[in-house]
Every structure is written in structure tokens, then in C-alpha cells.
Amino acid sequence: MTIFSTVFVLAFLPLLLGMVNKLKNSNTISYCMKRTSLSAWLLPVLAITLASCDPFGTRRTQPEPEPIPAEVDGWAPVYSKDADITTIKSLPPQNIVKGGKIYIKGDTLYQVESGKGIHVILIKQPANPQKIAFISVTGAQELAIKNATLYTNNLNDLVVLDIAKIDSVKVADRISNVFKMVDATRPPGTGYFECVDNSKGTVVGWEQKLLKYPKCRN
Amino acid sequence: MKKLLYILFSASLFITACDKDSTTSADKTTASGNTGQGGSLARFTTAADHMYIVDDRKLYTYSLLDEKRPQLKGSIDVGFSIETIYAYKDKLFVGSSSAMYIYSISNPAQPVKLGQATHVRACDPVIANDSLAYVTVRGGTRCGGTTNALMVYDVKYITQPLLRKTVNMESPYGLGMTGNRLYVCNGSNGLNVYDITDPVNPILKKQLAGGTFYDVIIIDNLMIAMIEGGTALYELKANDEISLAAKIVN
């Protein structure tokens, strides 16, 4: 559009210059007439030029709506239907379904099961890893360990677990609502996401997922 | 020569260590005391008897002097879309979707902002050593932006991190380093191994296929990789040979 308007103005330039020259050479009697014809020429040229320039940026504020992609990298809510989302307990080893963040302490690998808890896996022999327990923690996304104390998030609570006995971990402390690890309404990043459906349970986390025709966007 | 080897070995330990008081090969098996090590995508990290947590906007500092009763020492507004935190010696490197922030924890209870580097909008875990920070930025709809790259920042003048190098990648995620090797997860495109003998000029040495890689932790010659569906354990051998020990995916 800008190129077009420039070309347009350039095309009219000789004409305009011609008018001005004529104006200079003309006598006073014909002056009024000439001025009228000049304005008559100038006005449409100006109008077209200004319109092409879009000086107020009105068009830019209305971008063409992006079509919803058929397939796109985005987020999906992880739901829980557990009645008591604050219960934390040791369980026998579980299958890894949505493997999350990893943490190493000594010969033990801890892998978060997104939104569900923490897998505890012995890797003393890397060729023969042994799952030894699963710590069920709703909303878990993160962990850190000092000595035999494990810190994780139970949704938006910081919980402190005594893991000295891995098959019977105990909650040593809970600090409620200190941070926002899990937002139940929207994912922790921009882009498309699968809309929340509360009939499926409490949103306990978000996972990356290949989405098809997502309707929600952050 | 022995001395040199010792220095190199110590340096590699420091570089591999996520935390100031992280496990080393010496106490790896004993697991006595102190803290473990997380990946570069972590939001929790520990250093000097403190735990640092980032959520979307803030950095929270907890004292772990009484480890069963963490005490909140304070919280700081960092920015927007904070995603990762990485501790190295007396510094914290915080990655957001638009910047890398550096905090001093010389006083562990009170992190103080030293500097920041703003980059294009994208996802970005950070790892660092004394003079450099390696940042990956990943574009795409989820993270915003279109840049996919490994970026090398000079952090010698910590208040003014300087972008020294941009290495294009396909879909970089987490990263880890040991010695003169940098391991960068490249999503469904595998894992890239870079020679960082010249630290500001990573040279691609190897591309490992066999999984969708998201993050790595390297302890001595063991590489623990977060992959799609679980974890993979690899042994790092001479001449950049990487042999799969086991996959834990169900």
C-alpha cells in the first residue's frame, strides 16, 4: 500500500508542478479560476495519499482474525476427581504416564507425575532401575530434597515431607497458598489451550499437548 | 599434568553441580546430608541452606536451617512468565519467557538483583558457570515468538550480560553441561552435544536420536534425561559415545 501511494503521488507530481508554474505565470484576472482548479486537483490527490498512508493506524488495530489451527502445540488441563486433594501418602510403584520434572539425590531418581505425585526410582545400577514407591501428591509439579526432607507443591501449598521411610512418608509441614504453581483457569504460558471442563474434576495442573482445533487461548 | 587434571576435574564438578552444596562423585553413593540436583527446567532450587522457588511472577526465599520447618524470608517481584531457576555458586539465574534475570545470594536470605538480559519472547531455561550463561529459547505458539536457539551470554560483568553467540536449533528445551561438553535437549529432534572448549563458540559434535528430550541432569558420567513418557539413563563414554543404559517409560 505504501509503495502504491508513493507511485501515485510521483505520477501526479509533474501535473502539480505544472499547475504551480502556470499559477506563477498567470495574470491576476485568471488567478481565481486557476486557484479553484488547483484545489480541485489537490483535494482528491491529498485524500487518496492520506488514505493510503493510514496516518492513524486504524487498520493495524484490527488484525485479520487468525484461523484456529487444526493442530498446534499447546496446553491441556490435568484433572483430579479425588475427594481430598490434600491427602499425601506413599503408594506402591505406579506406571509413568505423564512423566514430569526430574531430580537426583544420591542413587535415587525422583520423577514428577504431572499433577499426581512423585515416582521414586533407584538407579544405583543404571542398566537396571528399580521403582520403589510412588508419593501421591495432588497437583505436584516440582520438588527439591535436603537430607531426608522432600519439598514439593500440593497444588498451591508448599509441603514438607519426611521421606526417611519411603513407603510411609509423612507430612512434616504445610505452608498454604504461598505461591501460584497451579492456576485452575489458565495454563502457565501463552498460546492455545484446551478449555477447562469442570465436570471432569479439579484442575491440578497443565500439560503440554498437541491440540486439535483448540478453542481457548491465553 | 596431574595438577592440571585435578583442576579440570574440580572445575567439571563445579560446572555439573546445580547447587552450591550439591552432591559430588564422592558423596553420590553415600547420599549423606545436603541436597540433590534438579534439571534446568526446575522452579525449585536449593543453595546455601536456602530454597528458592519461582512461580509465574515472584521469587520466594525459604530458610532451610530447620529443614522440616522452612521459614519464608521474603518474596521479590521478578517479572512475568517466570519459568525456571538455576543456582550456581552465589548466584541465581531466573529464566522467564522474555528475559534472564541474575540475582546475588551472597546473603542467601536476601537475593539482590544484579542484572538482566532481555531477549526475544520464547521459553528459556538457563544454566551457567563463572563467566557464561547458556540459555535456550524456544518459539512456537505455546511460548510466543519464533526464535529457536541456544544463546551464549557473557556474564563476567554480571550487571550487563552480553549476548556473544546465537546457535540456531529446532526445538530446544532443557540443558546441562559437564567438562567441555554441553548437552541440549532438542525436543522431538533428539539431543545435541556441543563442544564448548571455546565456551562462547559451541560446536555441534553429535546428535542423539531415540526420544523426545526435555531436560537432562548430568552426574559424573551418568546422564539422566527427561524424555516423552518418562526418563532415560545414559552412560557418557569417551569420544562422545553415549550409550543407553535403560529407559523408564511405564
User: Distance between CA atoms of B149 and B172, rounded to whole angstroms?
Assistant: 7
Partners of residue A121 in chain B, C-beta under 8 Å: 231, 248
Which of B166, B141, B151, B85 has the alpha carbon at shortest distance from A214? Answer: B141
Query: pLDDT tens for residues B48-101?
Result: 999 999 998 999 999 999 999 999 999 999 998 898 999 999 999 999 888 899
Query: pLDDT tens for residues B163-206?
Result: 999 999 999 999 999 999 999 999 999 999 999 999 999 999 99
Query: Residues A91, A128: one domain?
Result: yes
The whole-number pLDDT of residue B52 equals: 98
What are the φ and ψ backbone dihedral angles of A175, each rounded to 5 degrees? -115, 110
Lowest mean pLDDT among A33-42, A78-87, B113-122: A33-42
Residue of B nearest to A147 (CA): B33
Answer yes or no: is pLDDT of B214 > 70: yes
**Residue A164 maps to a domain:** yes
The number of angstroms, rounded, from the C-alpha of B177 to the middle of its chain's C-alpha atoms is 8
B191 vs A83 pLDDT, higher one: B191
| Test the B interface: residue of A72, A103, A114 with most B CBs within 10 Å | A103
Query: Residues A126, A203: one domain?
Result: yes
With cut-offs at 50, 70 and 90, classify the pLDDT of residue B125: confident
Query: Residues A118, A35: one domain?
Result: no
User: Distance between CA atoms of A72 and B141, rounded to whole angstroms?
Assistant: 7
Q: Does B64 touch chain A (CB under 8 A)?
A: yes
Query: Residues A136, A213: one domain?
Result: yes
B36, B53, B246 member nearest A145 (Cβ): B36
**Residue A60 maps to a domain:** no
The residue written with cell numbers 504445610 in the block is A174
Query: Residues A99, A172: one domain?
Result: yes
Partners of residue A185 in chain B, C-beta under 8 Å: none
Cβ–Cβ gap B231/A146 under 8 Å: no
B30, B36, B229 member nearest A104 (Cβ): B36
Domain that holds residue A42: 2-53
Q: Does B53 touch chain A (CB under 8 A)?
A: yes
The minimum CA-CA distance between A57 and chain B, rounded to whole Å, is 23
**Residue A160 maps to a domain:** yes
Cβ–Cβ gap B56/A188 under 8 Å: yes
Partners of residue A104 in chain B, C-beta under 8 Å: 23, 36-38, 217, 219, 224
How does A124-134 read in b/e, with b if 16+ C-beta sit within 10 Å? eebeebebebb
Q: Where are the domains of chain B?
A: 2-20+37-178+198-205
User: Distance between CA atoms of A35 and A189, rounded to whole angstroms?
Assistant: 62
Query: pLDDT tens for residues A86-142?
Result: 999 999 999 999 899 999 999 999 999 988 999 999 999 999 999 999 999 999 999
Query: pLDDT tens for residues A21-66?
Result: 444 444 444 444 444 454 555 555 555 555 555 555 455 555 666 7
Query: Residues A41, A80: one domain?
Result: no
pTM for the full model?
0.75
The whole-number pLDDT of residue A2 equals: 45
**Residue A37 maps to a domain:** yes
B29, B97, B246 member nearest A129 (Cβ): B246
**Residue A166 maps to a domain:** yes
CB atoms within 10 A of CB B28: 17
Domains: count for chain A: 2
Partners of residue A208 in chain B, C-beta under 8 Å: 142
CATH number of the domain encompassing residue A136: 2.40.10.480
How does A140-170 read in b/e, with b if 16+ C-beta sit within 10 Å? bbbbbbbbbbbbbbbbbbbbbbbbeebeebe
Cβ–Cβ gap B43/A141 under 8 Å: yes
Query: Residues A79, A180: one domain?
Result: yes
User: Distance between CA atoms of A208 and A74, rounded to whole angstroms?
Assistant: 6
Percent of chain B with pLDDT over 70: 83
Q: What is the ipTM of this complex?
A: 0.85
CA distances from A37 to A28, A29, B148 (A): 15, 14, 59
Cβ–Cβ gap A107/B28 under 8 Å: yes
**Residue A115 maps to a domain:** yes
Query: pLDDT tens for residues B53-64?
Result: 999 899 999 999
Given a contact cutoff of 8 angstroms between Cβ atoms, the answer to whether B80 and B97 are in contact is: yes
Partners of residue A93 in chain B, C-beta under 8 Å: none
Cβ–Cβ gap A74/B141 under 8 Å: yes
